[in-house]
Structure 1
Amino acid sequence: MGMRKVWNGAGRALVVAGIVAGPLFAADGKLPNILIIYADDFGYGDLSCYNPKSAYETPRLDRMAAEGIRFTDSHSPSTICSPSRYGLFSGQQIYRSTGRGGGAFEGPGGPSYLKPGTLTLGDMLKEKGYRTGIFGKWHVGLTWLDENGERLGGGFENSLKIDYEKSTPLVDGPNARGFDESFVTPNCPTTDPLYVYIENGMVPVPADRRHKRDTLPNPGGKWRWDNDEGWKAPGYEFVKADLMFYDKTKEFITTHRKQHPDQPFFAVFSTQIAHAPVLPAPEFEGSTEAGPRGDFVRELDTLVGRMLDLLEQLGVDDETLVLFNADNGPETLHVVWMREDHEHDASGGWRGVKRDAWEGGHRVPFIARWPGRIPGGQVTDQMINTTDIFATLASVVGYPLPDKAAVDSFDLLPVMIGKQESGKSVRPHLLTQSFRGEFQIRKGKWKYLDHKGSGGNSYDKGELAKYALPEKEPDAPGQLYDLEKDPGETTNLYFKNEAKRKEMQALLKELKESGRSAPTGRVPLGMENIPKLK
Structure 2
Amino acid sequence: MKQSARHCVIALAMMLIALLSTPLVSASETKPPNVVVFLVDDLGYMDIGANNPDCFYDTPNIDRLSESAMRFTDGYAANPVCSPTRYSLMTGKYPTRVQATNFFSGRRGGTFKPAPLHSNMPIEEITIAEVLKGKGYATFFAGKWHLGESEEFYPQNQGFDVNIGGYSKGGPYSGKRYFGPFENPQMAVESPEGDHLPDRLARDTAAFIEEHREEPFLAYLAFYSVHTPLMGRPDLVEKYKKKAEGIAGEEFAEEEQVFGKGVRNVRILQKHAVYAAMVEAMDQAVGKVLQQLKDSGVEDNTIVVFTSDNGGLSTSEGSPTSNLPLRGGKGWVYEGGIREPWIVKYPGVTEAGSVSSVPICSIDLLPTIAAAAGAELQHPVDGIDMRPALEGGTLDREALYWHYPHYSNQGGIPGGAIRVGKYKLFERYEDGRVHLYDLESDLSESKDLASEMPERVEQMRKQLHDWYQSVDAKFLQPKEGREPWTPAYLQ
Give the TM-score of the pair, scaled to structure 2: 0.74
Partner of 1:269: 221
Partner of 1:367: 343
Partner of 1:438: 415
CA distance in 2 between partners of 1:36 and 1:510 (Å): 33
Partner AA of 1:58 in structure 2: T
Q: 1:328 to 1:239 in 2, by over 3 A?
A: farther
Report SS of the residue matched to 1:450.
strand
Match of 1:133 among 129, 137, 140: 140
Q: 1:102 to 1:56 in 2, by over 3 A?
A: closer
Report SS of the residue matched to 1:507.
helix
> How far apart are residue 410 of structure 1 and its match?
1.4
Report SS of the residue matched to 2:340.
coil
Report SS of the residue matched to 1:329.
coil
> How far apart are residue 235 of structure 1 and its match?
7.8
Partner of 2:184: 197
Asked if structure 2 preserves the Cα contact closer than 8 Å seen for 1:105 and 1:140, the reply is: no
Q: 1:252 to 1:334 in 2, by over 3 A?
A: farther
CA distance in 2 between partners of 1:417 and 1:174 (Å): 32
Partner of 2:282: 300
CA distance in 2 between partners of 1:515 and 1:337 (Å): 33
User: Is the aligned partner of 1:314 residue 2:296?
Assistant: yes
> How far apart are residue 476 of structure 1 and its match?
6.4
> Any idea what the Cα deviations from partners look like across 1:109-134, whole Å, max 9, x if unmatched?
x9863213211111101011101010
Partner of 1:224: none
Partner of 1:22: none
| Alignment root-mean-square deviation, CA | 3.1
Partner of 1:413: 387
CA distance in 2 between partners of 1:335 and 1:360 (Å): 16
Asked if structure 2 preserves the Cα contact closer than 8 Å seen for 1:132 and 1:179, the reply is: yes
Asked if structure 2 preserves the Cα contact closer than 8 Å seen for 1:448 and 1:481, the reply is: yes
Partner of 1:504: 460
Segments of 5+ residues of structure 2 without an aligned counterpart are 1-24, 107-116, 245-272, 407-413, 474-491
Partner of 1:79: 80
> Any idea what the Cα deviations from partners look like across 1:495-531, whole Å, max 9, x if unmatched?
33221111111111222333499xxxxxxxxxxxxxx
CA distance in 1 between partners of 2:210 and 2:138 (Å): 12
Alignment of 1:149-298 (within 5 A): 170-185=151-166, 186-191=168-173, 197-199=184-186, 240-257=196-213, 261=214, 263-282=215-234, 284-288=236-240, 289-290=243-244, 291-298=273-280
Partner AA of 2:418 in structure 1: I
Partner of 1:450: 427
How many residue pairs end up in the alignment?
396
> How far apart are residue 493 of structure 1 and its match?
2.8
Q: 1:111 to 1:503 in 2, by over 3 A?
A: closer
Partner AA of 2:369 in structure 1: L
CA distance in 2 between partners of 1:293 and 1:412 (Å): 32
CA distance in 2 between partners of 1:55 and 1:49 (Å): 12
Partner of 1:148: none
> How far apart are residue 237 of structure 1 and its match?
8.0
Moved more, 45-54 or 183-192: 183-192
CA distance in 1 between partners of 2:77 and 2:227 (Å): 15
Partner of 2:8: none
Report SS of the residue matched to 1:484.
coil
CA distance in 2 between partners of 1:112 and 1:133 (Å): 23
> Any idea what the Cα deviations from partners look like across 1:329-383, whole Å, max 9, x if unmatched?
1113579865xxxxxx631410111001100001010001234542201001010
CA distance in 1 between partners of 2:173 and 2:446 (Å): 33
Asked if structure 1 preserves the Cα contact closer than 8 Å seen for 2:237 and 2:276, the reply is: no
Indicate the structure (1 or 2) with the bigger Cα radius of gyration.
2
CA distance in 1 between partners of 2:450 and 2:383 (Å): 29
Asked if structure 1 preserves the Cα contact closer than 8 Å seen for 2:389 and 2:395, the reply is: no
Give the TM-score of the pair, scaled to structure 1: 0.68
Partner AA of 1:482 in structure 2: D
Partner AA of 1:46 in structure 2: D
Alignment of 1:383-532 (within 5 A): 383-404=359-380, 407-418=381-392, 420=393, 424-434=394-404, 436=406, 438-451=415-428, 477-515=433-471
CA distance in 2 between partners of 1:198 and 1:89 (Å): 22
Q: Which runs of 4+ in 1 moved over 6 A?
A: 192-195, 234-239
Partner AA of 1:102 in structure 2: N
Segments of 5+ residues of structure 1 without an aligned counterpart are 1-24, 144-169, 206-233, 339-344, 454-474, 518-534
> How far apart are residue 431 of structure 1 and its match?
1.1
Asked if structure 1 preserves the Cα contact closer than 8 Å seen for 2:33 and 2:302, the reply is: yes
CA distance in 2 between partners of 1:435 and 1:513 (Å): 15
